[in-house]
Structure 1
Amino acid sequence: MNILGLIVEYNPFHNGHLYHLTKSKEITGATHTIAIMSGNFLQRGEPALFDKYTRAEMAVKNGVDLVVELPTMFACQSAELFAQGAITTLNSLNCINSICFGSEEGDVEILYSISKILVNEPDEFKEIFKNYLDEGMLYPTARSLALFDYINNYNSLNISKEKLLSILNSSNNILGLEYIKCLLKLKSNIKPFTISRVSASYNSEEIKNDICSATAIRKSLKENNNLLLLKNVVPYNTYETLNSKLDNNFSPMFDDKYFEILRSIILRDSNILNTYFDVNEGIENKIYQNVFTSSCLNDLHISVKSKRYTLTKIKRTFNNILLGITKNDMSSVKNISQMPYVRILAFNDNGREIIKTIKNSSDINIINKFSKTSFSMDDTVFKTLINYDIKASNMYNLIYYKNNKELLKGPMDYYKSPTYIRTTK
């Protein structure tokens, strides 16, 4: 069995994802695939369009064998923490042969060489990095500039300055560097591969052909709420599943639907805002001052945004406040080298084979239903991670089930079971 690991959000699963899945299996020779997927809240600090079970079902219907949830505390954070959570999860299974991620660069050897600098931290690099931090730069900016200077002055990577600058400032390359860095730190046997992104960039908002970005799909759904416009850019299984959700009165989710809830939390917790993760340097005062005069979430984002805080950074910060993710709790989990559990969302017959392999190769807790998790609640890391998963689902479902209140039985993680998609013979 040759198991390929994928790190995904599938928000929603589109033709670009199908290309990535097909190409990844081809270049790795994989016989089975497992996707580590963000749950109901995503890395950009936003709620997912549709719930995690629906997105996992779409993935399996389109060819992924097993989908498991990336714990919320990692799913909603910076590239470094997002990658750490995903790679640690895959590595903890003790049976994954490879990962394959999309990147703007497309050459895994170049990304590997840069990642080694981040892991080994040569003295010259550390000095340059420290100087940039001392100038008051944010950590990601300082690190990127330090890498650029170090590679140009001390390293023999045979690439132009223009290409290097592009690599260090492209979102999927940055994630790829973090994936490889984490693999190196864990001394993992998982082999990294990458393929070049095709047709549309990560943040492109235009739908021009049959492959576009998820950003463009979300924008179209928000502005038009018309699936017909997406028929050519998503596989039929995705289109069919999305149609079913809309027919059943489940609307796509967007962060502005949480504005009033977030506003209430900010006002209630004004004296403890700085205890939430990523609320630093007095930004809590700016948040509190502007929450009174902002008429929508976008107003609040713009009012807090600055040169030091990008819009994505601000959105993640507000998401941490919404979900109540504290600095203390993040500190207790962010450096773990072994994930205490894996939560199954959807699988097919090949997925069942992967689950059996995981049981034989690892002692990780495999969760099908949350009602059976109490046996590990004495583990602080397990308890912290699982509680935020439940809290995130509860917060998400408060709005998601607004038109279907009779279906909301309580904390839905206790009621929902993984989706089994039987393989068609």
Structure 2
Amino acid sequence: MNILGLVVEYNPFHNGHLYHLETSKKISNATHTVAIMSGNFLQRGEPALIDKYSRAKAAVLNGVDLVIELPTMFASQSAEIFAHGAIATLNSLNCISSICFGSEYGNIDVLSIISKILVNEPSEFKVLLKKYLDEGMLFPTARSLALFEYINKNKLINISKESLTDILNSSNNILGIEYIKSLLKLKSTIKPYTITRIKSEYNSESITSNICSATAIRKTLKDCCDISFTKSVVPKDTYKVLNDKINNQFYPVFDEMFFDTLSSIIIRDINHLNNYFEVNEGIENKIYNNIFKSNSLNELQLAIKSKRYTLTKIKRTLNNILLGITKDDMNLVKNIDCLPYVRVLAFNDKGREILKSIKNNSEINIINKFSNISFSMNDEVFKTLINYDIKASNMYNFIYYKNNKNLLKGPMDFYTTPIYVKKEY
């Protein structure tokens, strides 16, 4: 069994994801696939369009064999924390052969060389970095110049300063480097591959072909609330999942829907805002002062934005406040090497084979039913991770079930089981 690992959000699963999945299987010679997927809140500090189980179902219908949830505490954080959580999860399964991720650069050898330098920090590189920092440069600029000079002096690869800067400033390259760094730190045997992203930029908001960014799909859905346009940019199984949810009045979820809840938390917790993860350097005062003047979440985010705080960082910071993720709790879990559990969201028959392999090769707890989680609640890391998963689901579902309150039984994690996608003959 040759099992390929993928780190995904599938928000929603579109034609570009299908290309990535099929190409990844081909170049890694995979026989089985596992996707580590963010739950109801995502890496850019935003809620998912539809619930995690439905997104996982769409993934399996489109060719993924097993979908496992990335714990909430990792899913909505910086590239470094997000990547470490995902790689630690894959590595904990003890049966994954490879991982394949999309990147703007598309050259695994170059990304690996950069990653090794950043992990090992050779003394010559550290001297160069210190020199540029002492000149008053911002860390990203100093790091880029130090890397270029170190690579050039040691003739590791032939690359221009501009190309290296582009690599270090591109979203998927950044994630890819963090994946490789985590593999190196964990001394993992998982082999990394990368494929070049095609046709659409990660953050592009326009739909110009049958392959576009998930950002463009979400923006169009938000603007027009009509999913018919998605027929050209998502596989038919994804369209069916989306259409079924909307027909049952489970409408797409957007971050603005949490603005009132977030506002109440900020006002209530003004004396404790700096306890939340990423609330640093007095930004809590800027958040508090602007909450009274802002008529929307977007207004609040733009009022806080500065050279120091990018919009994405602000969104993640506000999301940490919304979900109550504290610095103490994050410090407890962010560097763990082995996950105490994996939570199954959806699977097919091949997924069952993977689960059997996990059971045979790893001691990790596999959660199918939440009624079984009491076995490890005395483990502080387990308890912290699982409680945030439950809290995030509850926050999300309070909005998601707005038109179906009669179906909201309580904490839905305890009432929802993994989706088995049966093969049709």
**Given the two structures, how large is their TM-score scaled by the length of structure 1?**
0.97
What SS does the corresponding residue of 1:271 show, helix, strand or coil? coil
Structure 1, unaligned runs of 5 or more: none
Task: Verify the 8 A CA contact 1:65 1:349 in the aligned structure 2.
Answer: yes
What is the letter of the counterpart of residue 116 of structure 1?
A: K
Q: Deviations over 1:117-166 (max 9, x none)?
A: 01100123223444566677776565445434543455532112221111
Q: Counterpart of 2:209?
A: 209
Q: Deviations over 1:359-396 (max 9, x none)?
A: 00000000001111011011111110000000000000
Task: Verify the 8 A CA contact 2:266 2:273 in the aligned structure 1.
Answer: yes
What SS does the corresponding residue of 1:337 show, helix, strand or coil? coil
Q: Counterpart of 2:124?
A: 124
**Aligned-residue RMSD, C-alpha:** 1.4
What is the letter of the counterpart of residue 2 of structure 1?
A: N
Q: Hey, what's the Cα distance between the residues in 1 that align with 2:263 and 2:155?
A: 49
Q: Counterpart of 1:260?
A: 260
Q: Counterpart of 1:394?
A: 394
Q: Counterpart of 1:287?
A: 287
Q: How many Å apart are 1:319 and its aligned residue?
A: 0.3
Q: Counterpart of 1:244?
A: 244
Q: Hey, what's the Cα distance between the residues in 2 that align with 1:278 and 1:135?
A: 27
Q: How many Å apart are 1:228 and its aligned residue?
A: 1.2
Q: Hey, what's the Cα distance between the residues in 1 that align with 2:290 and 2:243?
A: 39
Task: Verify the 8 A CA contact 1:393 1:413 in the aligned structure 2.
Answer: yes
Distance 1:259 1:25, change over 3 A: same
Q: Deviations over 1:14-64 (max 9, x none)?
A: 000000000000000000000000000000000000010010000000000
Q: Counterpart of 1:320?
A: 320
What is the letter of the counterpart of residue 388 of structure 1?
A: Y
- More displaced 10-residue stretch of structure 1: 116-125 or 324-333: 116-125
Task: Verify the 8 A CA contact 2:144 2:164 in the aligned structure 1.
Answer: no
What SS does the corresponding residue of 1:314 show, helix, strand or coil? helix
Q: Hey, what's the Cα distance between the residues in 1 that align with 2:182 and 2:133?
A: 23
What SS does the corresponding residue of 1:44 show, helix, strand or coil? coil
Distance 1:225 1:104, change over 3 A: same
- More displaced 10-residue stretch of structure 1: 362-371 or 122-131: 122-131
Distance 1:86 1:261, change over 3 A: same
Matched, 1:24 2:24: yes
Q: Counterpart of 1:65?
A: 65
What is the letter of the counterpart of residue 372 of structure 1?
A: N
Q: Hey, what's the Cα distance between the residues in 2 that align with 1:48 and 1:140?
A: 30
Q: Counterpart of 2:198?
A: 198
Q: Hey, what's the Cα distance between the residues in 2 that align with 1:95 and 1:170?
A: 31
Distance 1:332 1:253, change over 3 A: same
Q: How many Å apart are 1:198 and its aligned residue?
A: 0.6
Q: How many Å apart are 1:424 and its aligned residue?
A: 2.3
Q: Hey, what's the Cα distance between the residues in 1 that align with 2:49 and 2:143?
A: 32
Q: Hey, what's the Cα distance between the residues in 2 that align with 1:381 and 1:316?
A: 22
Q: Counterpart of 2:180?
A: 180
Q: How many Å apart are 1:230 and its aligned residue?
A: 1.2
- The residue correspondences of 1:66-85 to structure 2 (distance < 5 A) are 66-85=66-85
Report % sequence identity.
71
Q: Hey, what's the Cα distance between the residues in 2 that align with 1:10 and 1:272?
A: 34
Q: Hey, what's the Cα distance between the residues in 2 that align with 1:389 and 1:58?
A: 21
Q: Counterpart of 2:4?
A: 4
Where do 4+ consecutive residues of structure 1 move more than 2 Å? Answer: 124-156
Distance 1:312 1:133, change over 3 A: farther
Task: Verify the 8 A CA contact 1:115 1:178 in the aligned structure 2.
Answer: yes
Q: Counterpart of 1:270?
A: 270
What SS does the corresponding residue of 2:232 show, helix, strand or coil? coil
Task: Verify the 8 A CA contact 1:152 1:161 in the aligned structure 2.
Answer: no
Q: Counterpart of 2:423?
A: 423
Q: Hey, what's the Cα distance between the residues in 2 that align with 1:182 and 1:418?
A: 28
Task: Verify the 8 A CA contact 1:47 1:253 in the aligned structure 2.
Answer: yes
Q: Counterpart of 1:151?
A: 151
Q: Hey, what's the Cα distance between the residues in 1 that align with 2:233 and 2:178?
A: 29
Distance 1:181 1:400, change over 3 A: same
Distance 1:324 1:385, change over 3 A: same
Q: Hey, what's the Cα distance between the residues in 2 that align with 1:205 and 1:318?
A: 23
Q: Counterpart of 1:374?
A: 374
What is the letter of the counterpart of residue 364 of structure 1?
A: I
Q: How many residues align?
A: 425
Q: Hey, what's the Cα distance between the residues in 2 that align with 1:141 and 1:368?
A: 46
Distance 1:391 1:28, change over 3 A: same
What SS does the corresponding residue of 2:253 show, helix, strand or coil? coil
Structure 2, unaligned runs of 5 or more: none
Q: Hey, what's the Cα distance between the residues in 2 that align with 1:44 and 1:421?
A: 29
What is the letter of the counterpart of residue 414 of structure 1?
A: F
Task: Verify the 8 A CA contact 1:101 1:194 in the aligned structure 2.
Answer: yes
What SS does the corresponding residue of 2:345 show, helix, strand or coil? strand
What is the letter of the counterpart of residue 97 of structure 2?
A: N
Q: Counterpart of 1:362?
A: 362
What is the letter of the counterpart of residue 278 of structure 1?
A: E
Q: How many Å apart are 1:423 and its aligned residue?
A: 1.6
Q: Hey, what's the Cα distance between the residues in 2 that align with 1:400 and 1:130?
A: 49
Matched, 1:342 2:342: yes
Task: Verify the 8 A CA contact 1:368 1:417 in the aligned structure 2.
Answer: yes
Q: Hey, what's the Cα distance between the residues in 2 that align with 1:145 and 1:201?
A: 25
